[in-house]
Amino acid sequence: MDEIREKIASLIKDGKAGSVLAIVKNGINVIPVQITSQNLDEVSNICLDERRYPIEKMLASLVDARDDSSPVGIVLRPCEKAAVIELHKLQRFNIADLILIDIDCSRELRDKCACDWKDDIAVKVQEGKEFLKDETLDTLESGTSKERWEFWSKHFARCIKCYGCRNVCPVCICKACCLEEADVVEKGELPPEFPIFHLARAVDVAGRCIDCGKCEEACPVDIPLRLIHKKVFRDFIRDFKYIPGASIDEKCPLDFIESIKEEGD
């Protein structure tokens, strides 16, 4: 951690980065902070912690708000780096304007998350090894359609439509959200109509969900949202041989806009 702190301080002092976004601990608060030459002392407070934020979305806002063309640095866990790669492909920012600083997750978060990114998921897939193992999901998929419907009906009946899952998702970036359209989701209805609300979100992020699990962490009524997104993520990799966030150069098979552009050229 000291090496990372020194690197960030050097980047800012030498003018190689206009600012660096990192998680810092001040007293009992653990929050994302934009570190600049004006608050360089915050470097000493950079920490490892299991609390997580949509830091990738914050990064996009910082890039947009720059007064100059100075690169923006960001301290990233493995899954967050995968999300940044997807946001680059979605043209939310240019990764060439960034300085990515890798950091490992805390042991507590690793145990809690059971993350595949820490072992390079791309290598796992190429070698044919098991990935995204989830006993709960495997058990659920082995059940009947009625059992699966009852399982999800029970959980989604608790939904209060707070939009926390959408707001915290690092790759949910649509300016106009279909979940706020009356034709898709009836306004004022709680819980929202099942299954359209959460299935629409799962389909919308298919091809760019990186299985970070932040949606489930943010849910105030403990809906196992990661299960449905992990199902989509796992099947997407199997069917399309594409791993969201694993490669800067490889295009997503669902990138219809780029496909249309290429056909029109």
Claim to verify: residue 85 and residue 143 sit in the same structural domain: no
Residue 230 lies in a domain: yes
| Domain shared by 44 and 141, yes or no | no
155 and 234 assigned to the same domain: yes
Q: Is pLDDT above 50 for 240? A: yes
Report if residue 265 sits inside a domain.
Answer: no
Structure confidence at residue 181 (pLDDT)? 85
Kindly give, in sequence order, each residue whose CB lies less than 8 Å from that of residue 31, ignoring residues fewer than 6 positions away: 23, 24, 53
- Other Cβ atoms less than 10 A from the Cβ of 29: the count is 10
Task: Say if residues 12 and 19 touch (Cβ distance below 8 Å).
Answer: yes
Greater pLDDT, 257 or 143: 143
The residue segments making up the domain with residue 79 are 2-110
Q: What is the DSSP letter of 109?
A: H
End residue of a domain, out of 59, 80, 110: 110
**Pair 166, 229: CB distance under 8 Å:** no
In a domain, 124, yes or no: no
Q: Clarify whether residues 160 and 203 are in a common domain.
A: yes
**Does residue 137 share a domain with residue 63?**
no
Q: What is the pLDDT of residues 7-21, one digit of tens each?
A: 999 999 999 999 999
* Reported pTM: 0.86
Give residue-wise pLDDT tens across range 21-80. Answer: 999 998 889 999 999 999 999 999 998 888 889 999 999 988 888 888 889 999 999 889
Number of domains into which the chain is organized = 2
Q: Does residue 118 lie in a domain region? A: no
Given this model, what pLDDT does residue 263 score?
Answer: 43
150 inside domain = yes
What share of the chain in percent tops pLDDT 70?
Answer: 89
Say whether both 141 and 186 belong to one domain: yes
